[in-house]
Amino acid sequence: MNEENELLLRENKDRFVLLPIKYPKVWEMYKRAEASFWTSEEIDLTEDMRHWETMTEGERYFISHVLAFFAASDGIVNENLAINFMSEVQIPEARCFYGFQIMMENIHSETYAQLIDTYTKDPAEKDRLFHAIDTIPCIQRKAEWALRWINNGSFAERLIAFAAVEGIFFSGSFCSIFWLKKRGLCRD
């Protein structure tokens, strides 16, 4: 598809005017996202820390790497949203959604970083996990793949690439978190 024909990207003199809502389905998606708002301060890690201590070394290693992936990857997703999608998309309703998504990605990133900071006592290991896109090869490869799509490809290709990041990379990692919850561990 030619990007000039893409409704989301077409020049819109009303891109700074929110009302009246012209795209109610997009607005509804934004409002649903808004209703799911939470902050990292709402999470009580007291019981999770007790659960963490009962895990095997292998389980802690696995979960630490999942958290490192999340912490690093949310920053990449945010960069793509801020650099590309927020500046390219011309529909105010979609821009509201992307703005909210950026804020939520910040909260997620903060939460994953807090989990790493809370669970990991060794400063060198903590630093390695915080810098996972440079220090953990499997996370580095995923980051390189995602970063390649920030500046390359059409809007549609980049949209699909970041849907893959969210839908494949993140979903696979979320399965491990649900595995913990299923076992009654780290419920928050």
Q: What's the burial of 142, exposed, middle or buried (CB within 10 Å: 0-12/13-18/19+)? A: buried
What pLDDT band is residue 3 in, cutting at 50, 70 and 90?
low
Tens-digit pLDDT profile for residues 30-70: 899 888 888 888 888 888 788 888 888 988 898 999 999 99
d(CA 93, CA 97): 6
- Lowest mean pLDDT across 5-9, 13-17, 155-159: 5-9
Q: Domains in the chain, ordered, with CATH?
A: 3-28+69-183 (1.10.620.20)
Which residues does the annotation mark as catalytic?
112
Total-model pTM: 0.80
Q: Is residue 127 over pLDDT 90?
A: yes
Tens-digit pLDDT profile for residues 5-14: 677 777 878 7
